[in-house]
Amino acid sequence: MSPLARVIDEHIETVAVAAVDGEIDASNVVEIGRRLRETLTNQSMALVVDLARTTYLDSAGINMLFAIGAELRQRQQRLHLAVPAGSPIARMLGIAGIESALPVHDTRDAAVAAASADA
């Protein structure tokens, strides 16, 4: 895993949850994207990406989230983001307009609950 970030994953019933701890930028976005995709199993109905411990996110990371969301929609799965309101990451995602493409929740628990309800 990149020294800039690590992905910690778990499964809650049919929801895959991946927490990104650290920075996501052009230097590690391919690796982080691969790890997020690997979190999904054949039984996964949704993926929650928890960005609460993400300290930096550049445009490459934002594009990765849009791309994973589109890939999952094609597979009848859904991507949910957990991003604390008012955080720098939430502001970046707001500027990028990510809410128009992906559901964004203030907490991991809220994201998991919404993803479970989608299933």
Residue found by looking up tokens 């039984």 in the block: 43
pLDDT of residue 39: 96
* Strand duo 5-12 + 15-24: pairing: antiparallel
User: What is the pLDDT tens value at each position of the chain, 119 positions in all?
Assistant: 457 899 999 999 999 999 999 999 999 999 999 999 999 998 999 999 999 999 999 999 999 999 999 999 999 999 999 999 999 999 999 999 999 999 999 999 999 999 999 86
Ordered DSSP codes for 31-68: HHHHHHHHH--TT-SEEEEE-TTEEEE-HHHHHHHHHH
The reported pLDDT for the residue numbered 34 is 97
* pTM above threshold 0.85: yes
Tokens standing for 115?
A: 């993803």
Domains, the chain, ranges and CATH? 5-118 (3.30.750.24)
